Chain A
Amino acid sequence: MRVSLNWLRDFVEVTKDIDTLTDTFTLHSMEVASTEKLIDASDLVIGHVRACEPHPDADKLLVCDVDVGQETLTIVCGAPNVAAGQHVIVALEGATLAGGLRIQKTTIRGVESRGMICSLSELGLPMKYHQETGIHVIDDEVRVGEDAREVLGLNDDVIVLDLTPNRMDLLSMHGVAYDVAAMFDTKLTIAEPKVTYDKHTNPMTITSDTDACKAYYGSVIENITIKPSPSWLKARLIAAGIRPINNVVDITNYVMLETGQPLHAFDFDLLNSEIIVVREARQGETFTTLDDKVRTLDAGDVLITDGTRPIALGGVMGGADTEVHAKTTRILLESAAFSPLHVRRTASRLDVRSESSMRFEKGIDIAKLRFALDRASELLIELAGATVRKDVVYVDRLDTSEQTIELPLSTLDKVLGIRLSQARVEDVLRRLRFRYTIKNDVVVITKPTRRPDFENHQDIIEEIGRIHGYASVPETLPRTVSVGELTDKQRFRRAVRETLLGLGLHEAKTYSLRPRETVQRFAVDKKTPVTVKHPMSERRAALRLSPLGGLMEAASYNVARGQSSVHLFEVGHVYAPTGEEEKLAGLMHGVYRPRHWQTTTALNFYTLKAVLETLFKRFGVSVQYTPATLEHYHPHQAAVLDVAGTRLGHLAKVHPAHAAAHDLSDVYAFELDLDVLYDAREPSLRYQPVDRFPAIERDIAIVVDRLVLAGEVINAIADTGIGALRTVNVFDVYEGTPLDDDKKSLGIRMVFKDPEGTLQAEHVDRRVNSVIEHLRTVFDATLR
């Protein structure tokens, strides 16, 4: 809402300067988005063009004699529309115009020019408000030499309020005036309109078939002369951000801004009958709105009809057929109450949000329907020479019974956490101009019609609180006694992050919404993606099935900027139709922990496996790796991970083709289900006594078929269940001469320990022999 201070002063005493107003609004009413001067120009007077001759030495310039009261100035003017006899705006020598332009005496092609005849744009009024290309010619009766800013209503300040949806009352100058009166405790001066009616009766009859329009007032107004509005009215509309059109349209807008009640004018002579029927539209019915668009309607849209055809979309937009035009002399003026819900649905479905629909959507002051009609009539008589037929016709089924809201003073104190005296509360209520009584420490407030947002006593607490001011509320802490702590899962998640950070991976965050066509990429479990109904763009259309898509983009972004070593992980949700899962995903590219001047260790599959194993050991989780063929990944460097038979995730080298598509070389990636890892963790710490007896290590080297997996061999050894065997590890892998091409050698280290006593070497040897025997049977292994 753009609030003109000139206009505001019509309704309330404003004693403070604009900075104080702004600060007070901010702390007690509504955020002030900005303040503006309507025009930023000085030293402007009304001039009268006495004569206008072509410049002797320039085709397109005119030399004008302009009477500015004290003297007559010679001014060279380039506007083709300047002419003798006009009243114009003259910027005197020393004047400042929009953009800081200073007016000085100049000589233009031999003619001395003292001042400038101004266009509205030069004063700083944007073209959209006036559409004048030449100088501004004043239609009003004015006196030469007067301050043009004052005469034209342009010496004004505008406060732009950033309205919240609950304060529909501030969508009118009256509403703003009420708030100013409450905040500063000053006088309200809103006058009742006075209309002189003529003797002719109003021929209209009005019916409404729908509760979406419970009240409809119509006035017939005649003898109208359509012409531009006077400057002061135009200036106020412009201050409010509305483009002046002609006096009739301007007056409906003006009254709407003043009262908050939208009005609509039909050309009375274009109506097919003398009846108005308000009804709900039939599904599929069409109607041409005044922007000449054919609208297809839904049941539930509210139509104003003249009994033969629709003439307006109630509260949203008028029709093209009955629009006021330059030759209009008679109008039917509508002031009605349309249901917020219906207007909202219609306006948003048809995507037509107007000043009018916005006010109906947020709720109007139902006591202002007749007031607004009368106010507009008053102005039409004054500014369009109109006469008003004596009967205002209407239907009105609005519930005007008074509603009350009770607020115990103790509740007020209990919510605000302060003690407000009854005198103070009454003072605030008086300033707010609420009707109230106080009995037994309970305030009973009559709900003002200008505040349809009020529902219960919380609204009243809010009003009292803001006018009283929140600065005096002390700062305390809740007395609720409680234990604050993280859950096991939350602690676990923090530990996961901490572990990976310690291993040199940065934590990343990527967007959940991804392009539909690539959203399955890198997700091993190819579920149907969840998509949003109306995406803002194709790039953000589907919810990710894996964080790896975003992480690959991040890697690509970094590498393209010279950051070749990228190690990232992300903890976040993925979204399948079956539900959300929390994933831990990551990737590594480039060099891991580069050794600078020493040798550099190349990053490979086992680097990331080591990272993961460190994480798994952190939580006591033992993971099985199984070779797998996974789409988007290297066919021979990919594994799926399981814990105790449950799929945990995967670890793999990204397929070189996909890596190359991201301008990356060797990328290794993993994705784990965080819940599976959480469930698999060792739930509690168990202490085991430190071994008192020495361990015995035995190394063997076996030759097996090249395709035999190290994991299989380790498992096979562990499966023998041989006593005292504690760990089995592979310490060497060798392929090449003198081995056959299809063979490889594995160096295996076994550690034996007996908690009960020192192992005898010969016992251990016997066990090693039985391991060898087992491997011979299972893998056809030979000792090397």
Chain B
Amino acid sequence: MDIQSTIKKLERELNEALVSVDKIEALQDVKAAFVGKKSELSGLMRHMKDIPNEEKPAFGQTINAAKQRFNTMIESRKKAIQAKRLARKLEQEKIDVTLPAPDFTRGAQHVLTRITESLEDLFIGMGYLVKEGPEIETDELNFEKLNLPKDHPARDMQDSFYISDETLLRTHTSPVQVRTMLEYGGTKPVKIICPGTVYRRDDDDATHSHQFMQVEGLVVDKDTTLSDLKGTLLALARHLFGEDRKIRLRPSYFPFTEPSFEVDVTCAGCDGAGCATCKQTGYIEILGAGMVHNNVLEAAGYDSTQYQGFAFGVGVERLAMLKYGIDDIRHFYTNDVRFLSQFKGELS
């Protein structure tokens, strides 16, 4: 018997069988038929006894090699069938990647919080602490210790909501400065900013609000100068309005500082040349500042012959309005989602 031709015949038959098989189950039958115990190939082994001894190893090897080859063929067919089946399955899973995604909208931080936190971060970077205090304050802390005794004409400048004869809704966050100085006991330098909500008797309109947010700053030390104030305010102006901004100080008046200033920043719209935004002046007023009045230092326990300092205060709404071109201060408290949701992304 010619074993080689038998194997060749079987191989031909296997090939034909595999081509027509396209299911894994059917492939099992093919496998049984060609390499199983009852397969013709296995049956060839029974001829071993008829083979001369010296040819037996070669005979066995030939059959085993064929078996191996057959298994490989079946295995590769199996993989082909599986691949095809998977491709069919994946095809059924086809989606339209252009369909809109489910909306997992992220909330937007309030623009006032956003600017406040941005200022906090700027000043923390310069070594300041963030100090807070109550919104219902005593007349003493809100006014008297800030060089605004009762009957002081400048109390008109910030007409206030009194709760009782001695308490009121704070008109600025300056009482937090006083609280901090008192807490420090006049013995160590102060370097703080005080963000918070304040109240003044203004009729609400596009540019006035009876409630608004402030960030105030205070530095008190033995050698804190007006030039330090200028440099600090320049940093603030550039942080909010861009690296090319310049500032100028104009004489003004606050009871708690002397000298006092209004601080203008060069208009970003025209770079100082004059435009509608800055009413042709080239400058936009952004905050008030000054050197701390000696009466304020003394009232808060600091020896004014040893210590001096500067203070400033910004209205957060005003900054936001300038920065983003918001036309009406009431937007900040109306909470229209179409307004709120715009303030996302990086602060710039």
Residues of B within 8 A of A568 (CB): 335
A513 lies within 8 A of B103 (CB)? no
* A736: Cβ under 8 A from any B Cβ: no
B109 lies within 8 A of A481 (CB)? no
* B201: Cβ under 8 A from any A Cβ: yes
* B169: Cβ under 8 A from any A Cβ: yes
B127 lies within 8 A of A594 (CB)? no
- Chain A proximity mask over B80-124: 1 for CB below 8 Å, otherwise 0: 000000000000000000011111111111101100010010011
Size class of the contact patch on chain B: 35 or more
| Other-chain contact of A459, B101, B232, B258 (Cβ < 8 Å) | B258
Residues of A within 8 A of B235 (CB): 477
A481 lies within 8 A of B127 (CB)? yes
A477 lies within 8 A of B251 (CB)? no
B109 lies within 8 A of A501 (CB)? yes
- Chain B proximity mask over A147-163: 1 for CB below 8 Å, otherwise 0: 00000000000000000
The distance from the CB of B239 to the nearest CB of chain A, in whole angstroms, is 13
A461 to B225 Cα, complex, angstroms = 12
Within 8 A of B (CB), among A555-575: 557-558, 561, 563, 566-569, 572-573, 575
Interface of B is mostly: mixed
Contact A506:B252 (CB < 8 A) given known A414-B225, A480-B127, A487-B130:
no
* A680: Cβ under 8 A from any B Cβ: no
* B125: Cβ under 8 A from any A Cβ: yes
A598 lies within 8 A of B102 (CB)? yes
Chain A residue nearest in CB terms to B308? A415
Within 8 A of A (CB), among B32-84: none
Contact A166:B162 (CB < 8 A) given known A474-B230, A536-B203, A580-B136:
no
Contact A486:B225 (CB < 8 A) given known A501-B106, A513-B161:
no
Residues of A within 8 A of B319 (CB): none
* B224: Cβ under 8 A from any A Cβ: yes
* B338: Cβ under 8 A from any A Cβ: yes
| Other-chain contact of B197, A533, A534, A572 (Cβ < 8 Å) | A572
Within 8 A of B (CB), among A450-478: 455-456, 458-459, 461-462, 465-466, 470-471, 473-478
B153 lies within 8 A of A479 (CB)? no
* B231: Cβ under 8 A from any A Cβ: yes
* B303: Cβ under 8 A from any A Cβ: no
Contact A482:B128 (CB < 8 A) given known A466-B251, A593-B104:
yes
B126 lies within 8 A of A458 (CB)? no
Residues of A within 8 A of B293 (CB): 458
* A512: Cβ under 8 A from any B Cβ: yes
* B151: Cβ under 8 A from any A Cβ: yes
B234 lies within 8 A of A475 (CB)? yes
The distance from the CB of B185 to the nearest CB of chain A, in whole angstroms, is 17
The distance from the CB of A756 to the nearest CB of chain B, in whole angstroms, is 41
Residues of B within 8 A of A485 (CB): 124, 129
* B226: Cβ under 8 A from any A Cβ: yes
A572 to B134 Cα, complex, angstroms = 11
A513 lies within 8 A of B226 (CB)? no
* B332: Cβ under 8 A from any A Cβ: yes
B107 lies within 8 A of A563 (CB)? no
A561 to B151 Cα, complex, angstroms = 47
Chain A residue nearest in CB terms to B261? A470
A475 lies within 8 A of B231 (CB)? yes
| Other-chain contact of A458, B259, B334, B337 (Cβ < 8 Å) | B259
Most buried by B among A418, A470, A485, A540: A470
* A28: Cβ under 8 A from any B Cβ: yes
Of the 9-residue stretches A69-77, A253-261, A319-327, A340-348, which lies at the interface with chain B?
A340-348
B226 lies within 8 A of A494 (CB)? no
A484 lies within 8 A of B259 (CB)? no
Residues of B within 8 A of A512 (CB): 135, 169, 197, 199, 211
Contact A597:B130 (CB < 8 A) given known A466-B251, A475-B234:
no
Residues of A within 8 A of B262 (CB): 31
* B250: Cβ under 8 A from any A Cβ: yes
A401 to B146 Cα, complex, angstroms = 29
Residues of A within 8 A of B228 (CB): 417, 476-479
Contact A165:B291 (CB < 8 A) given known A31-B262, A484-B128, A533-B164:
no
A26 to B163 Cα, complex, angstroms = 38
B225 lies within 8 A of A557 (CB)? no
* B249: Cβ under 8 A from any A Cβ: yes
A558 to B337 Cα, complex, angstroms = 7
A557 to B135 Cα, complex, angstroms = 27
A458 lies within 8 A of B169 (CB)? no
* B172: Cβ under 8 A from any A Cβ: no
Contact A465:B226 (CB < 8 A) given known A362-B153, A475-B234, A478-B232:
yes
A557 lies within 8 A of B248 (CB)? no
The distance from the CB of B177 to the nearest CB of chain A, in whole angstroms, is 15
Within 8 A of B (CB), among A492-537: 494, 497, 500-513, 530-536
A532 lies within 8 A of B227 (CB)? no
A476 lies within 8 A of B251 (CB)? no
* B347: Cβ under 8 A from any A Cβ: no
Residues of A within 8 A of B252 (CB): 31, 164
B226 lies within 8 A of A416 (CB)? yes
A486 to B112 Cα, complex, angstroms = 18
B226 lies within 8 A of A417 (CB)? yes
A647 to B97 Cα, complex, angstroms = 48
* A27: Cβ under 8 A from any B Cβ: yes
The distance from the CB of B228 to the nearest CB of chain A, in whole angstroms, is 4
A470 lies within 8 A of B249 (CB)? yes
B103 lies within 8 A of A595 (CB)? yes
Within 8 A of B (CB), among A581-609: 593-598
A164 to B156 Cα, complex, angstroms = 11
A595 lies within 8 A of B102 (CB)? yes
A635 to B221 Cα, complex, angstroms = 59
A594 lies within 8 A of B117 (CB)? no
| Other-chain contact of A475, B136, B153, B230 (Cβ < 8 Å) | B230
B259 lies within 8 A of A465 (CB)? yes
Residues of B within 8 A of A572 (CB): 197
A340 to B150 Cα, complex, angstroms = 12
Q: Chain A residues in contact with chain B, CB under 8 A?
A: 26-31, 164-167, 340-341, 344-345, 361-362, 414-418, 455-456, 458-459, 461-462, 465-466, 470-471, 473-487, 490, 494, 497, 500-513, 530-536, 540, 543, 551, 554, 557-558, 561, 563, 566-569, 572-573, 575, 579-580, 593-598
Q: Which 3 A-B pairs have the closest CB atoms?
A: A417-B227, A417-B225, A164-B253
Q: Chain B residues in contact with chain A, CB under 8 A?
A: 99-110, 112-113, 117, 120, 123-130, 132, 134-136, 151, 153-154, 156-157, 161-164, 169, 189, 191, 197, 199, 201, 203, 210-211, 219, 221, 223-228, 230-232, 234-235, 248-253, 258-262, 291, 293-295, 308, 332-338, 340-341
Given contacts A417-B228, A462-B260, A497-B109, 8 further A-B contacts (CB under 8 A): A27-B250, A165-B154, A459-B258, A477-B126, A478-B221, A484-B127, A533-B163, A535-B161
Q: List 25 A-B contacts (CB under 8 A).
A: A344-B151, A417-B226, A458-B291, A465-B259, A473-B230, A474-B227, A475-B227, A476-B228, A476-B230, A477-B228, A478-B224, A482-B191, A483-B127, A484-B125, A485-B124, A486-B124, A487-B130, A497-B113, A507-B107, A507-B110, A530-B163, A532-B169, A536-B210, A540-B210, A579-B134
